[in-house]
A = this chain, B = another copy of it.
């Protein structure tokens, strides 16, 4: 392995000078700079970051925790983080935490071990207290999911308003009996989306019927199972709002399994606008989040904190929009539910 020593020797200067060239120090003659750069190229020298990082007490690596890379929602979020990190000379370390507190704790060790300089959570399952503890020593940003009230930065969308928009779309189409497929999870998005659903109904004089509210676990199969009971009701809903596209796909399957069709018999709205939502038939009406910008903004906030050594709490809410496709349609006038 070729080290800074070898370059110094080859260039006939000291290691300090080579180091200065590497770090673009202004205090170095153009002439010697040329010589050093020539030696660097000649020897094909690459600085050993292990040495540099130790000396600088930083790793130039940001930890990014997500539930699972198999969740298609996060791919563009990660892209936003990645591009931004790279722009500032950082690498990201992508880790699946499988929504397990134990896994998250394990990965946070990487901070203490100096393998990473900061962390972005996309869907933390640790408690506010635990996160705040980390944030005392290291920059922490929450992206997408976050713990309300925790004194930690986050960047997300207004899930309640977004869900409201989605349900209002159904109401505008004439639907009044609207089912809800969600989850009983710790994630704020699940709670806020349910709130948005309820608020939209109430604001339009529609009663919230507990029997129309069903909970699954985010999976396709749970969406399928849960929706089946909705569809088989004697007085079934004419539309269903699911809090994720994957669950919405389960809902659609449940509907077609019962010999009904989307949107003719039941309209369906999802949430997230994952790539697959436009690939299925009928293409899914859903809520689109600015995924790239979510990741980008989160990374910018984190790097800003890192640069300034500040721990200012920033709370950023970005816009979302309803994408209307083919899975929602006007209520058939012939069919008049109570």
* Residues of chain A having any CB pair with chain B under 8 Å: 1, 46-51, 53-54, 57, 59, 61, 68-70, 72, 74-76, 78-79, 82, 91, 93-94, 96, 109-110, 112-115, 220, 246, 249-250, 252-253, 256, 275-276, 278-281
State the copy count for this chain. 2
A228–B115 CA distance with the chains assembled, in angstroms: 51
**Residue of chain B at shortest CB distance from A110:** B91
Q: What CA separation (Å) do A109 and B60 show in the bound complex? A: 14
For the complex, give the distance between the alpha carbons of A94 and B94 in Å.
Answer: 6
User: 3 shortest A-B CB distances, which residue pairs?
Assistant: A70-B75, A46-B112, A94-B94
Q: Is the CB of B46 within 8 A of A50?
A: no
**A250 lies within 8 A of B275 (CB):** no
Q: Looking at the complex, which one of B246, B275, B280 makes contact with A70 (CB distance below 8 Å)?
A: B275
A242 to B82, CA, bound (A): 32
* Distance of A76 Cα from B70 Cα, bound (Å): 8
Q: Which among B75, B94, B250 is the interface contact of A279 at CB below 8 angstroms?
A: B250
Residue numbers in B under 8 Å from A68 (CB-CB): 75
* Contact between A46 and B246, CB atoms less than 8 A apart: no
Residue contact B113 to A48, C-beta cutoff 8 Å: yes
Return the contact of A249 from the options B76, B246, B279 (Cβ within 8 A).
B279
* Residue in B48, B94, B115, B252 whose beta carbon sits within 8 Å of that of A49 in the complex: B115
Query: A114 contacts which of B50, B78, B93 (Cβ < 8 Å)?
Result: B50
